[in-house]
Amino acid sequence: MTVAERGTGRDGRPTLEQVAARAGVGRGTVSRVINGSPRVSDRTRAAVQQAIADLGYVPHRAARALAANRTDAIALVVPEPEERLAEPFFGGIIRGVSAELADTDIQLLLTLIRTPRERERFTQYATSQRVDGVLLISVHGDDPLPDQLAEAGIPAVMTGRRTAEEQVPYVDCDNVGGAQLAVEHLLGRGRAMVATITGPADMYVAQCRLDGYRAAIRAAGREVDEGLIARGNFTEESAYLAMHELVRRRPRLDAVFCASDLMAVGARRALRELGRSVPDDVALVGFEDSALARHMDPPLTSVNQPTQAMGRAMTRALLEEIGDSDPDLPRLVLPTELVRRASS
């Protein structure tokens, strides 16, 4: 830390202590405001910012990072092939993360991990103090990386969970409740045979959306027909194939809940090939409420998943974990809601 940031100010610049005294707060509070910590009230933040403006204080970024043993960089890790970054879910999360970092000096490093070797290489990179923390998106159930980061003492926050007993901090949405809303809507529209195309079995998010489907069917007093359940992997092509399989198994199905909007696109394509009209012959509902949903023909009923809010929340949580020796580690589940459109 420079002499100017300690409090003597021999070069004539205002010091951190002078800002704290003018704002009527402690030195640590000023540091938290400068570093973008959410653990400061709006009133206190405004007082500190006014003191900074009045005194003309300019934080010495390099000195701050050195004194705190920080790099002012965080990694955004996606354990998926690069083509999946074009999907709406990832775009929404990344926009939220970027928006939360916009007023900070922190650099965001995007890392794709597709193989065990790439995971090992990233772990070595992270543990050699190249980043201050890690954001993890789309983590599969058997992925050891979150635990490896925790064991190394590297702050990390995930979007979603690997299991119901997840120990690594996370921000998720109500996947079970959202799926229930979707299926209850289809049943309420008088649909007699409601199918679902769910995600991969090794992802907790897919399990939760399938659990919501099953719960809604049972709550309506019906038996769950396993022949109306098909697996996808959250891609358009997987749902296209799954939709063909569902119609082959149950030709009289009249509604489908897809566990993502992108899979609803694939299902819609298959239904067209099969001569089934949406929604007259088959009602269709997705999950995410992305731009895809609004632009489909007909526009897609979808469960709103607040992806940008999730990205912002996980970023705030990670910054708090980085900047606080005793942070409140988040296990946050955001609400979902159904947005009704012409597809159902």
Domain identity same for 51 and 138: no
Structure tokens at 238: 């997987």
Q: How many domains does the chain have?
A: 3
- Average pLDDT over all residues of the chain: 88
Domain identity same for 26 and 62: yes
Domain identity same for 323 and 292: no
**pLDDT, tens digit, for every residue of 147-204?**
888 888 889 999 999 999 998 999 999 999 999 999 999 999 999 999 999 999 999 9
Domain identity same for 79 and 119: yes
Domain ranges, residue 220: 175-304
The answer to whether the beta carbons of residues 238 and 176 sit under 8 Å apart is no
Structure tokens at 340: 């009704």
Query: Regarding predicted confidence, which is higher, 224 or 31?
Result: 224
Q: Is the pLDDT of residue 239 over 60?
A: yes
| 57 within a domain of the structure (yes/no) | yes
User: How high is the pLDDT of residue 338?
Assistant: 98
- Residue reference for tokens 């749902």: 239
Domain identity same for 264 and 163: no
User: How high is the pLDDT of residue 59?
Assistant: 63
Domain identity same for 286 and 312: no
pLDDT, mean of residues 209-226:
97
**CATH number for position 29:** 1.10.260.40
Domain identity same for 313 and 167: yes
| 62 within a domain of the structure (yes/no) | yes
How would residue 69 be classed by pLDDT, with cut points 50, 70 and 90?
Answer: low
Look up residue 251 and give its DSSP letter.
T
**CATH number for position 208:** 3.40.50.2300
User: How high is the pLDDT of residue 66?
Assistant: 42
| 313 within a domain of the structure (yes/no) | yes
Domain identity same for 122 and 200: no
Distance CA 154, CA 138 (A): 19
Domain identity same for 268 and 213: yes
**Which residue, of 38, 67, 96, is where some domain finishes?**
67
User: How high is the pLDDT of residue 216?
Assistant: 98
328 CB contacts (<8 Å, ≥6 apart)? Answer: 320
Domain identity same for 167 and 152: yes
Domain identity same for 185 and 295: yes
How would residue 296 be classed by pLDDT, with cut points 50, 70 and 90?
Answer: very high
